[in-house]
Amino acid sequence: MKKRVIVGLSGGVDSSVAAYLLKQQGYDVIGLFMKNWHDDSVTISDECPWLDDSNDAMLVAEKLGIPFQTVDLSAQYKERIVDYMFNEYEKGRTPNPDVLCNREIKFDVFMKIALDLGADYVATGHYCRKGTIEKDVKEVFQLLAGKDNNKDQSYFLCQLSQEQLAKALFPIGELQKPEVRDIAAKADLITADKKDSQGLCFIGKVRLPDFLQQQLKPKEGVIVEIPKNNFNYTNTKKSFNTKTEELQYLSRKAEYAVADGEVVGKHQGAHYFTKGQRKGLSVGGKVEPLFVIDTDVKENVIYTGQGKNHPGLYKRALFVSNEELHWVRPDLALKTDETMNVLARIRYRQPLDKATLYKVDSGLYVEFENLQSAITEGQFVAWYLEDELVGSGVIS
């Protein structure tokens, strides 16, 4: 009996080649397109509207001679991704919809549909790999970085579980992007030269402020510039009684007040802005551009600093609470007071940096060897042992 694989065909080149390779490998392949979005009012229309994508996905399936259908997951997408995003932005946190989309939609709702259709596996066009090892007579699945360093997408899958990985296949993880395009061209797939979509998972390019304004009403507030010699940076503490005390200090949130700086402009809502952001502030006349160093959604104030080296942008440590801590490899999970040396990143495409994990009763500290720019609440930190992603968490 051939093993059945259902491929999430997105209408892009990566998933097209994933389907092609699986067919070559002798699997019984079915293509499924996920429709996750109905509201075109916030989509920048000529950038990857879902209709073109579903059409391309259908043509690829036809070319490969595999069955194809579309599933409408927009209700689940709205509830699990969009509502969550609005909720996070309202709290002044910055969510990562792509990570959530993989955990909640592709490898949960979509996977359940696939398994109901008799699939043995679900495949996607992600640039990452899956490994299998045996530990205590049990199969353990590994999430490994893609071979193409420029395209490695393991970070986006940092919330997957062993159950999800068991059923997942990543056919292009061993390939470089140019090889993928080459395979598509040779197989005469319509997506061979198609541009990669940039934008929210399955929605396409969205005007984020328009998108957020649907739920979060504009509310005028002030933009405050904090000088580089603010007391938060000059009165640094040097001695600590315990390592935990030091980590608490290093990961603390700086406290700012309007009186600490100069009001330099107005904005339409602190919840539309995120730490490290430069665009959209519309404040001129500065020697260096302003960057958001903090937002206060309660008081509706945006705190900014001049230049990308402003001390308000940098921290060495962060904290993840137990509720938001996830181990892709539960067998490696730390117990209280244990530590682990890892490589970690706080955003996609960021080079991995050396870090140490410290497990405490309430959660986990990640202390980096180097200062990190714009550690942002609500984003995901992911940690690796060599090229294996072993765990992740939401930054508190």
Rounded-to-5 percentages of helix, strand, coil across the chain = 30, 30, 40
Closest by CA to 202, choosing from 13, 33, 85, is: 33
For the stretch 289-292, contacts whose Cβ atoms lie closer than 8 Å and that sit 24 or more positions apart, written own/partner, are 290/223, 290/225, 290/264, 291/374
CA 53 to chain CA centroid, nearest Å: 22
User: Quick one: which of 394, 389, 393 has its CA closest to 329?
Assistant: 389
Indicate if the alpha-carbon torsion angle 212, 216, 218, 221 is positive or negative: negative
Q: In one letter, which amino acid is 275?
A: K
**232, HSE (Cβ side, Cα atoms, 13 Å):** 23
Residue with the two structure tokens 């070319």: 63
Scan for tokens 């892709």, then name that residue.
Answer: 328
Buried b (16+ CB within 10 A) or exposed e, 310-343: bbbbbbbbbbbeeebbbbbbeeeebeeeeebebb
Could you tell me if 10 and 202 are in contact, meaning their C-beta atoms sit under 8 angstroms apart? yes
Residues with catalytic roles: 101, 201
DSSP 284: -
| C-alpha angle 180-185-191 in degrees, rounded to nearest 5 | 80
Residue 383 to residue 393: CA distance in whole angstroms: 9
- Centre a 10 Å sphere on the Cβ of residue 144 and count the other Cβ atoms it contains: 20
